């Protein structure tokens, strides 16, 4: 069995699950970095506070719509049992947009659950675009996502008390 070849490994046993990985669609931080390069008028564009927990760009929203259409047309949505996402806004917008989207008339709430996990983040810390908003804020905006596995303590652990203006 060649695991390095170009053919995907197909296992038919019910003990195996298929894992699909989807990276978030284009975020506004990607656009800013493409337009301004690495440095903007105030220094490193990555450090701009405007990019805190960066949302999707208009192009990113279009990418989500295209992926959703592909998944619906392929019938893949009916086979997915669980969606796991990073708690960053752009990742959650991508997950909800692709796997929930607008309620389709012929799909009758047959959507997989979506769970946020802190460990799914690609980076932690230094840049505002890689920091997330407070989970209580995100729970309000993303009611379709289960945040029970995201712990508030992670933010204190990552950023320390300085994040809230404490010494």
Whether the CB-CB separation of 46 and 127 falls below 8 Å is answered with yes
Active centre residues (catalytic): 24, 122
């Amino acid at each position: 069995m060649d695991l390095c070849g170009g053919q995907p490994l197909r296992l038919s046993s019910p003990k195996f699950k298929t894992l699909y990985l989807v990276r978030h669609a284009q975020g506004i931080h990607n656009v800013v970095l493409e337009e301004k390069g690495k440095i903007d008028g105030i220094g490193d564009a990555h450090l701009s506070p405007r990019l805190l927990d960066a949302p999707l760009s208009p192009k990113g929203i279009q990418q989500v719509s295209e992926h959703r259409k592909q998944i619906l047309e392929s019938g893949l949505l009916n086979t997915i049992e669980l969606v796991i996402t990073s708690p960053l806004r752009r990742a959650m917008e991508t997950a909800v947009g692709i796997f929930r989207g607008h309620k389709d008339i012929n799909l009758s709430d047959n959507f997989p659950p979506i769970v946020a996990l802190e460990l799914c983040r690609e980076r932690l810390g230094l840049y505002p675009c890689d920091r997330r908003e407070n989970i209580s804020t995100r729970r309000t905006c993303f009611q379709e996502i289960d945040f029970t596995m995201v712990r508030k303590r992670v933010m204190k652990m990552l950023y320390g008390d300085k994040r809230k203006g404490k010494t």
